[in-house]
Amino acid sequence: KASFSTRATAEQALNQVHKCTSGNAMEMATFNLKDGYVEAILRGYKGSLLNSGDYALMCQCENLDDLKMHLSTTTYGNLVSEVDVGGANTTTQLIECCTEKFVEEFEYLQCQAEGTLYHFLEMCRIPHMIDNVVLIVSGCLHNQHTPELLEKCHPLGMFDAIASLAVAANMQELYQLVLIDTPLGKYFEGSLSREDLTEMHLEIMRNMLYKCWIEDFNAFCSKVGGTTREVMGRFLSFEADRRAIAIASNSVGTELTHDDKKSLFCKFGSLYPYGQKDLAQAEDHDEILKVLSDYSPYNRLLALASADDDLMIDEILSGQELDLCKESFTQQFHYGVFWAYIKMKEQELRNLMWISECIVQNMHNRIHDGVKF
Amino acid sequence: MDYEYWGLVFRHISPYMWASLGCALAIGLSVAGAAWGIFLTGSSLVGAAVKAPRITSKNLISVIFCEAAAIYGVITAIILQTKVEDVPIGSDGEWSVKILKAGYAVFGSGLCVGLSNLVCGICVGIVGSSCALADAQNSTLFVKILVIEIFGSALGLFGVIVAIIISGMERNTRHVSFSLLLQNSFC
């Protein structure tokens, strides 16, 4: 068994070397032809993300008015001044306002992009579409009204037929009436066998869709080649690992079988195939951590985290993702920076949500815990 | 490979063709390199200047360095076309060795400056694009990256220098053939 695993790891290593060295010869000299302007705009957006100085000032705010004032000195400008601080749900309104700006920037980028980059940005939207579809379908199960659900959807994941998702009664109808014409249509291949839309099945459907999407995205980036393949390969294998860990830890204590869990894991990533096999068989959180401590870079991250006690696995992974994002900006002429910017911007919105919630609930001592940049 | 036949072919090819090709390559390839470099750096410059308008005036230097590659090509092409003169063809339809040498010299000179400015233009373009993006984020980086561009644009300069030297070789042969003509006419 030992010799088989060493041979497999040697093959994996060879594959990775082959992937890294087969790049585009004239990539640097031809990238700017179509995508130079859009990449430069994106780097401008990245430069105006909130930095440590902004966060330090905002963490010291006493109330939401102060927070709004600080936000107006950043690139958010006067957008947040319309949010009424006195009313209910102000933190949600504030974050929605900021999210709108993000979506506007993203749509500008997509407008200016052509060809391959346009498809890349479309693929970046798909996880939001998946979340929206699951949100609407589960809302319908609980008999909520469609307009309310549509308001809760993430704006990046809107597509034309989304309002008509509410009419479907079961999976087959959902697929054949609505989803087959949307960008999500091709991801439904594997999950049509489930008939009823119950809560459990919805989660499985969501994870199955994510798995299909990640594998499709990986194939797309490999076809693009060059530095994009290298950078996005890193991002997507991290994403695959992260989803595997999330599925394993969320299904602890549920009746999901080992084989079911394995079918939800992606067929690549640094945990594929042996780590995923071990994760599928893990019965509790300690076993999951034990499996992770055999694989790099998770062993190094867990070692660092255990020194700083009480750090959740989610936070460790978020920190690692932010590091990968910042690294990707050190290379030019690739599409990985677009993905990295989306992730960094979403983290910034989560930070703002955390800060405003802490201010509203008067938990100033915990305000620094949730802020990552 | 019948070398005698190929030798015959080359001796019958008009040196005017080589000379004209040399002039054309000098200006054509240099301008191609300069244009390539300008679009590489210009697209990044325009995009980066949206969020950081202060970078526009300083980063025009990158565009000027690319333009210099085209200027080298123009200068060399003008010099080369002055070397082209009326030369007599030999009695058996072949050109004399000195005249052939002059034709090849003009061709080589043009190819030299053309190719070196082509790659110089691309090089300065790529570095200029990175320079604009870096300057937009942190203005202390501009001068440091500019030094790289200066080294890149020196490549085009090397091409021009060598091209001028090669084309100077042509002048000697012309003088020799002219003096030979004089001697023959006196004998």
* Beta-strand runs (E) in chain A: none
Query: To probe the interface with A, which of B51, B119, B135 has the most A CB atoms within 10 Å?
Result: B51
Question: Interior CA angle at A355 toward A349 and A360, to 5°?
Answer: 125
CA distance A15 to A230: 12
Query: To probe the interface with B, which of A28, A48, A331 has the most B CB atoms within 10 Å?
Result: A28
Give per-residue pLDDT as tens, B11-30: 888 999 999 999 999 999 99
Give per-residue pLDDT as tens, A157-179: 888 778 777 776 666 677 777 77
- Mean pLDDT computed over A324-329: 95
Please tell me chain B's helix, strand, coil percentages from 3-state DSSP, rounded to the nearest 5. Answer: 85, 0, 15
Q: What's the longest Cα–Cα distance across chain A? A: 67
Of B118, B124, B130, which is closest to residue B159 (Cα–Cα)? B118
Question: Interior CA angle at A270 toward A268 and A273, to 5°?
Answer: 60
Neighbours of B82 (CB within 10 A): 8
Burial class (CB in 10 A: 0-12, 13-18, 19+), B126: buried
pLDDT band per the 50, 70, 90 thresholds, residue A10? low
Of B172, B173, B155, which is closest to residue B112 (Cα–Cα)? B155
Interface of B with A in 52-111 (CB under 8 A): 52
CA distance A190 to B86: 79
CA distance A260 to A252: 13
Neighbours of A178 (CB within 10 A): 20
Contacts of A28 in chain B (CB under 8 A): 126
Which residue does chain B place closest to A30, by CA atoms?
B40
Residue type, A178: V
Q: Identify the pLDDT of residue B45.
A: 96
Q: Is B45 on the interface with A (CB under 8 A)?
A: yes
Q: Using CB atoms, which residue from B47, B122, B126 is nearest to A39?
A: B47
ipTM for the whole complex: 0.85
Q: Is A41 on the interface with B (CB under 8 A)?
A: yes
CA A271 from chain center: how many Å?
18
CB-based contacts of A258, cutoff 8 Å, min separation 6: A280, A281
Neighbours of A82 (CB within 10 A): 9
Helical ranges in A225-295 per DSSP H = 226-250, 258-264, 274-281, 285-292
Q: B47, A29: Cβ pair inside 8 Å?
A: no
Quote the pTM value.
0.88
Q: Is B46 on the interface with A (CB under 8 A)?
A: yes
Q: Identify the pLDDT of residue B155.
A: 93
